[in-house]
Amino acid sequence: MVNTTIKTTKSQEIFSAAQSLMPGGVNSPVRAFKSVGGQPIVFDRVKGAYVWDVDDNQYIDYVGTWGPAICGHANPEVIAALHSALEKGTSFGAPCALENVLAEMVIDAVPSIEMVRFVNSGTEACMAVLRLMRAFTKRDKIIKFEGCYHGHADMFLVKAGSGVATLGLPDSPGVPSSVTKNTLTAPFNDLEAVKVLFEENRDQIAGVILEPVVGNAGFVSPDAGFLEGLREITHEHGALLVFDEVMTGFRISYGGAQEKFGVTPDLTTLGKIIGGGLPVGAYGGRRDIMSMVAPAGPMYQAGTLSGNPLAMTAGIKTLELLQKPGTYDYLEQVTKKLADGLIEVARETGHAACGGNISGMFGMFFTKGPVHNYEDAKASDTAKFGRFHRGMLEHGIYLAPSQFEAGFTSIAHTEEDIERTLQAAREVMSSL
Ligand SMILES: *Cc1c(COP(=O)(O)O)cnc(C)c1O
């Protein structure tokens, strides 16, 4: 299928050339639009709430490079800070004062984090935190939830949400069962299932890892008491609680989901926003646990480019901008208008729909709902979502190309952008 109402000749040329150069023409699967049909558009540049493709079409963007662009794309203050950092070099491979600055900001912001280690991606952060959970507890098994994504490391590629689900790969080939046999899974929001797993695997479970608000199975909030319940159960069994806040950190509030919901995990992973658009991840938590990480302790983990001055600079400037009073109120205001508006428009045009938002993270499913877990999310009409996605693209609105991805706004999105988006949604949904 090709775009009908917008000209995308150059996008098509570049993307077809890409197919023979990179697997599927992309460097990360969801970008290829497999689950929504049609060809992806190829970006040329981004600014504020907008992106432009190589054919010079402009779109209002609700992906925000999958979360990091919370201050708006190519934010002038972030770019200016990067320009001056660039003059001093891009990578030191040695201690640099900027690492202290970002570390202090993260420790001050995130309730569970007393010490932090920077890495280069969310995947890396989750891999390392898993090793740390095991090293600290001397136990091998972990519990994760169906539909939660914790990066592409072997032991997490079990019921791993959007990227994997969308491609119809329940597990990936190349992942040995000897690795995933220690990964236990439960439905999100199901405390009973977690209790049963702990009973059946007494003294063997290192901990529980979850997205405290799920964004990789579409947008799914924790039910009242779920996070608190996990905190109690893990305490009872001497296991660790780990919040993967790669997506929610600095997004649903400055201190992440743990601040928002008042539940403090033992360890936390971060990524996306803390790199301000450059590659950064981090893991941190209780001082006694983090003291196991080399060279303070025996758990090995390292990185050539970790803590490089460019990534630290983009992260520092982004967090500084987010500290301005009113940031999260504004994100809540525009995003709620969008999320509520989309559901209203869907219902008025005769489509079953549900969804919601917390601050600048939102989602909408084409199903009556409510959606408490991945099983519920899968009831969504994904074929309809595909047509909706394509229609919105042709109306100049860039949504995440999968029903099972959360959407993101930024402080650069205006009320007018939201109104234009809802107007487009009304036209598209009326014709579905
Ligand atoms: C994006 C994401 C990751 C992986 O981060 P990468 O930087 O893509 O490796 C891990 N966990 C969650 C919750 C994410 O949203």
DSSP single-letter state for residue 11: H
215 C-beta closer than 6 A to ligand 1: yes
Question: DSSP class of residue 249?
Answer: B
Determine which residue's CA is closest to atom 5 belonging to ligand 1. 122
Q: Would you say the CB of residue 242 lies under 6 angstroms from ligand 1?
A: no
Take residue 114 and report the two structure tokens written for it.
């007393």
What percentage of residues in the chain have a pLDDT greater than 70?
Answer: 97
How far apart are alpha carbons 268 and 206 in whole angstroms?
Answer: 15
Residue nearest to atom 6 of ligand 1 (CA): 122
Q: Which value, in Å, is the radius of gyration of the alpha carbons in the chain? A: 21
- Please determine, for residue 166, whether its predicted confidence score (pLDDT) is greater than 70: no
CB of 245 within 6 A of ligand 1: the answer is no
Respond yes or no on whether the N-terminal peptide bond of residue 370 is cis (omega within 30° of 0): yes
- Tokens standing for 355? 């969804």
Atom of ligand 1 at shortest distance to CA of 215?
A: 15
Instruction: Tally the residues of the chain.
Output: 432
Provide the CB-side half-sphere exposure for 191 (13 A, CA).
Answer: 13
Q: How far is residue 349's CA from residue 19's CA, in Å, rounded to a whole number?
A: 38
Spatial CB neighbours of 158, under 8 Å, sequence gap ≥ 6: 144, 171, 180, 183, 185
How many whole angstroms from 123 Cα to the centroid of ligand 1?
A: 6
Q: What percent of the chain has a predicted confidence (pLDDT) above 90?
A: 92
With 50 as the cut, is the pLDDT of residue 168 above it? no
For ligand 1, pick from 63, 247, 374 the residue to mutate: most ligand atoms within 8 Å of CB: 247
Checking if the pLDDT of 161 tops 80, the result is no
Q: Which residues lie below 8 Å from residue 53, measured CB to CB, with a gap of 6+?
A: 8, 10, 11, 41, 42, 43, 44, 59
Write down the pLDDT at residue 178. 85
**Is residue 9 scored above 80 in pLDDT?**
yes
Q: Does residue 244 line the site of ligand 1, with CB under 6 A? A: yes
Query: Quick one: average pLDDT of 67-79?
Result: 98
Q: Is the pLDDT of residue 170 over 60?
A: no
Map 256-288 to HEC letters: HHHHHHCCCCCEEEECHHHHECECCEEEEECHH
For residue 186, the SS3 value is strand
Query: Cβ distance 299 to 383 under 8 Å?
Result: no
List the beta bridge partners of residue 293: 299
pLDDT in the model for residue 4: 56
Measured in Å, residue 210 CA sits from the centre of ligand 1 at 12
Q: Which atom of ligand 1 is nearest to the CA of 281?
A: 7
Which numbered atom of ligand 1 lies nearest the CA of 28?
8
Closest residue (by CA) to atom 15 of ligand 1? 247
Token look-up 């600055």 returns 101
Could you report the per-residue pLDDT of 114-150, keeping only the tens digit for each?
999 999 999 999 999 999 999 999 999 999 999 999 9
> What's 48's DSSP letter?
B
pTM exceeding 0.85: yes
121 Cβ inside 6 Å of ligand 1: yes
Mean pLDDT, rounded, for 53-72: 98
> Is 151's C-beta closer than 6 angstroms to any atom of ligand 1?
yes
Output 229-238 pairs: Cβ under 8 A, ≥24 positions apart.
229/191, 229/194, 230/191, 230/194, 230/263, 231/263, 231/264, 231/265, 233/191, 233/194, 233/195, 233/198, 233/208, 234/207, 234/208, 234/266, 236/198, 237/198, 237/202, 237/203, 237/205, 238/137, 238/203
Residue 180 identity: T
Decide whether any atom of ligand 1 lies within 6 Å of the 260 Cβ.
no
Q: Given CA atoms 362, 368, 373, 378 in this order, what sign does their dihedral have?
A: negative
Q: Which pLDDT score, from 0 to 100, does residue 163 have?
A: 65
pLDDT digit string (tens) for 82-121?
999 999 999 999 999 999 999 999 999 999 999 999 999 9
Please give the positions annotated as active site: 149, 244, 272
pLDDT (0 to 100) of residue 328: 98
For 260-270, what is each residue's pLDDT tens digit? 999 999 999 99
Q: Average pLDDT, stretch 400-417? A: 97
Question: According to the model, what pLDDT value does residue 165 have?
Answer: 56
